[in-house]
Chain A
Amino acid sequence: MAIYSVGRKRIMLALLLTSALLLTLDLRGNPAINAAREGFGVVLDPVESATGVVTNPLERMWHGITNYDDLERDNLALQEQVDRLIGTQAAAEAAVIEGKELQALYSLPSLSGIETEVARVVGYAANNLDQVIEINKGSSSGIAVGMPVVNQAGLVGKVTQVSATSARVMLVSDARYTVAVKVTSSDQAALDTPTNTSPSGLDPDGVVAAATTTTAQSTTLPPAVVPGLTLPNGLPVPDTTLPGSGADLSELIDPETGRLLTEEEVRDLAAALAEEPADSVADAITEEIETPSASAATESSTTTTTIPVIEKEYGALEGRGRLRLPQIKFLQDNPSLAELQVGDLVETAGGSTSNAPTGIPVGRVANRADRAGSGGPLLDVELNADLARLNFVRVVLYKPLAEVGQ
């Protein structure tokens, strides 16, 4: 008996050709295949749930064996981080207030005005190539393909497939992911080290406004705002559940006189700003506004934050797969502004056709690689969000301006 006959060869060839045919049909978009996917999901769901319940003890045992040392180390690091955050949260609060106010003055779109949908991560990709998660909300919750997904730290990914009750999210680290971003500089040291000033907000050396405040970069916040924590003086820390959003500013103060601006003065200032070009607006704000960190103030001192922000360059952020940092391409140094460097902030650029609104924090530049010729530098980006430990995420129910009304 022939062990390896021509007939057997044909079977194998037929199966491989069928695979290729299915691949072609799927890539061209076939409703029957989509329906088959939905149907198979319905069949698999209860089996998967039951399997999850049965194997849960094994999973925990495995994590107990493999992650114990890491957890202990993480716990210590987090405790240290919490201690540091308590020391810097006042500065963070001031930055939130400033960012929020300036966004309002500029009338820029921000996440604070966009509805979101909280979803739980229920699954990860089961292969070693794709960086995809599955969430437990779908089209019945208003989620559509293309919508950005964030967590408290920043951008996580975008929705790529939607069913009625679930959706798949391609993570930023996936090799197929691309998003328009802008690179900005920020003086991180100013955030890390709160500065004590006089109650009016004036710097003791008299140097006040030159380095004061920011543009609409509430996104430059470090993850220093911890929900549930309180300030050393007992005041609650503002809840910034969305990156790029913050608490409302209720008061503005004149840095020269130290008095509160009236509503009329604020309106006049806003009107003046609206008539001026963006650069001069920033200067005007720099000179005119000093934002008090009223809620964090103590009797003897006020904490202010100085975050000079410069938008340096726009580029395309592309994922590069698991354990590899995403990279920004299509960049050039702009000598008139500043050189792109390690530590620069990265956030979404927005735009009328972009699926992500402007101002979602993405991460920080971790490495810079210069290329010969006109290629421009490549920037590796350390993401703010820890994509390996996603539990709850928010889907930003955002539609690009180009698609609104369609």
Chain B
Amino acid sequence: MFAAFVQGPLIRVIPVGIILLALQRTIFVEIQIDGVIIQVMMATAAAAGVAGGSERGALVGFVFGVMFDLAEGTPLGSTATAMTVAGIVGGLLALIAADPQWWFAAIFTGLGTAAGALMIPVVRVFVGEPEPFQDRLAVVVPIVAVAGALMSPLLVPLARWCLRMKRPEWTQPINDPSM
């Protein structure tokens, strides 16, 4: 079990998550665009989905979400659900292209982030919170999505490293005797 943990993605995902959480709670609270806080953890979860597929994206989103809920005092599992969905959506969209260009990956990451941002009020409705859907959501979601897309050239490689993945090699070996 210990070996599985050491060799698995969590050994990297957790420390990266803590650093991202610290960044989220410090600099990203200050750097707001039109009063909207950029969701870097959500974007990373979506990027993990784009880089490693839905299930890995879901795993990263779940871990990040639980950490976020523990630190923020929000109902445990609420943000985890939203970030899990962000990872799943990012991964599902990435199925469109086998090895997407960086800008394609950016679009997928942005859309995954938007899905996660939309899920937060949905979960809060189930929790029984009053008026989680506000007009402001129309501003929040696009800004969060665009910010996620812009950060994806950094976040996709980071997610790939966390998940111990290497870029797929699609080129045919030149010195292959079978050719």
A residues near B (Cβ < 8 Å) are 3-4, 8, 11-12, 15-16, 18-27, 33, 36-37, 40-41, 43-44, 47-48, 50-52, 55, 58-59, 62-63, 123-130, 132, 160-161, 168, 175-176, 320-324
Interface string of B55-80 (1 = CB under 8 A from A): 10011011001111011111111111
Q: List 12 A-B contacts (CB under 8 A).
A: A16-B85, A23-B77, A26-B75, A33-B76, A40-B67, A44-B21, A55-B27, A62-B30, A128-B136, A130-B74, A161-B73, A175-B134
CB < 8 Å neighbour of B81 from A4, A16, A26, A130 = A16
CB < 8 Å neighbour of B95 from A3, A20, A37 = A3
Q: CA–CA, A8 to B130, complex, Å? A: 35
Is there a chain A Cβ closer than 8 Å to B22's Cβ? yes
CB < 8 Å neighbour of A128 from B27, B55, B140 = B140
- Shortest Cβ gap from A400 to chain B (Å): 23
Is there a chain A Cβ closer than 8 Å to B12's Cβ? no
Which of B33-41, B104-112, B157-165, B167-175 touches A? B33-41
Q: CA–CA, A33 to B134, complex, Å? A: 29
B residues near A (Cβ < 8 Å) are 18-19, 21-31, 35-37, 39, 53-55, 58-59, 61-62, 65-68, 70-81, 84-85, 88, 92, 95, 117, 120-121, 123-124, 126-127, 129-132, 134, 136, 140, 144
Given A11-B59, A320-B131, does the pair A19, B39 have CB atoms closer than 8 Å?
no
- Shortest Cβ gap from B85 to chain A (Å): 8
Chain B neighbourhood of A324, CB < 8 A: 134, 136
CB < 8 Å neighbour of A59 from B27, B131, B136 = B27
Residue pair B84, A59 in contact (C-beta under 8 Å): no
Minimum CB distance partner of A39 in chain B:
B70
Q: CA–CA, A101 to B120, complex, Å? A: 51
Please classify the interface of chain B as helix (H, G, I), strand (E, B), loop, or mixed, using the class held by over half of its residues. helix
Residue pair B76, A126 in contact (C-beta under 8 Å): no
Q: CA–CA, A50 to B131, complex, Å? A: 36
Residue pair B144, A128 in contact (C-beta under 8 Å): yes
Residue pair A322, B136 in contact (C-beta under 8 Å): yes
Q: CA–CA, A288 to B26, complex, Å? A: 57
Q: CA–CA, A62 to B30, complex, Å? A: 8
Minimum CB distance partner of B62 in chain A:
A15
Q: CA–CA, A62 to B33, complex, Å? A: 11
Chain A neighbourhood of B127, CB < 8 A: 23, 27
CB < 8 Å neighbour of A321 from B36, B80, B134 = B134
Residue pair A176, B26 in contact (C-beta under 8 Å): no
Known: A19-B80, A40-B71. 8 other contacts (CB 8 A): A8-B53, A23-B123, A27-B127, A37-B76, A41-B71, A126-B29, A132-B72, A320-B131
Given A11-B59, A51-B23, does the pair A20, B81 have CB atoms closer than 8 Å?
yes
Minimum CB distance partner of B134 in chain A:
A321
Residue pair A321, B136 in contact (C-beta under 8 Å): yes
CB < 8 Å neighbour of B70 from A37, A124, A126, A320 = A37
- Shortest Cβ gap from A65 to chain B (Å): 10
Residue pair A51, B22 in contact (C-beta under 8 Å): yes
Minimum CB distance partner of B30 in chain A:
A59
Chain B neighbourhood of A33, CB < 8 A: 76
- Shortest Cβ gap from A324 to chain B (Å): 7
Residue pair A44, B27 in contact (C-beta under 8 Å): no
Residue pair B120, A127 in contact (C-beta under 8 Å): yes
Minimum CB distance partner of B121 in chain A:
A129
Chain A neighbourhood of B58, CB < 8 A: 11-12, 15-16
Chain A neighbourhood of B71, CB < 8 A: 40-41, 44, 126
Chain B neighbourhood of A127, CB < 8 A: 37, 39, 72, 74, 79, 120
CB < 8 Å neighbour of B77 from A4, A19, A43, A321 = A19
Residue pair A126, B28 in contact (C-beta under 8 Å): yes
- Shortest Cβ gap from B66 to chain A (Å): 7
Residue pair A48, B22 in contact (C-beta under 8 Å): yes
Minimum CB distance partner of A125 in chain B:
B72
